[in-house]
Amino acid sequence: MTSHDTPPTAARLGAVLFRNRGWLPAPFVIVPLVLSGGFHLAQWVVGLGIVALGEWWRLAGVARAGPGTRRREGQSSELVTWGPFAWSRNPLYNGNYLIWMGFVVISGVWWFLPAATVLFFTEYTLIVAYEEADLLRAFGAPYAEYRARTPRWIPRPPAPGAAEGPADHAAAWRSERSTFLQYVVLVIAFALRQHFLPPIG
């Protein structure tokens, strides 16, 4: 087994998490929302900035890969290697991480930041194991070459002259409308929680 081979058990667990990934944000929102308290402007400014940065990176990824990235089954019709995907193999998950940590910052539940980071990368390492096995079966050598030159998590500038590809920003914005609504609801919930209830954590 090479360093890039996917253990079968990890891929199977990742497939289950992938199909149910709509529930994965729950602990990253519920714990800070329940424990947060006290309105601190600096936390809100920094936290919302992190959320905005994460969503900007997500939008850039969805614009290249298409709204089909919201699918529940791992069936890819095209290997996307340009735009944010030239920087990281998982730009949407990079964005998710920033978004969820941004809400933790808003809450001020600082001890949860490292715990949330460990939980996030445990879950998504399994999901990525499943996705990468699927992509390798679908695209073979081109995906193996892409995987070898592009980091999994931490974005790195691509080589100079890397090719760009199509991007549908309008479709990306339409695809994210429900996500934007969730942000509005969460911001209101955090504001009400911090304004009316005493801090717990």
pLDDT digits (tens, 9 = 90+) for 181-197: 999 999 999 998 887 87
Q: Which tokens go with 183? A: 């942000």
pLDDT digits (tens, 9 = 90+) for 24-50: 788 888 999 888 777 789 999 999 999
pLDDT over 50 (residue 2): no
Domain boundary assignment for the chain: 42-196
Q: What is the pTM of this model?
A: 0.86
| Beta strand segments in 53-180, E | none
Start-to-end CA span in the chain (Å): 45
* DSSP labels, 116-149: HHHHHHHHHHHHHHHHHHHHHHHH-HHHHHHHHH
| Overall size of the chain counted in residues | 201
Which pLDDT does position 1 carry in this prediction?
43
pLDDT digits (tens, 9 = 90+) for 81-101: 999 999 999 999 999 999 999
pLDDT over 90 (residue 102): yes
Is residue 92 a contact partner of residue 58, using CB atoms and an 8 Å limit?
A: yes
Was domain 42-196 assigned CATH 1.20.120? yes
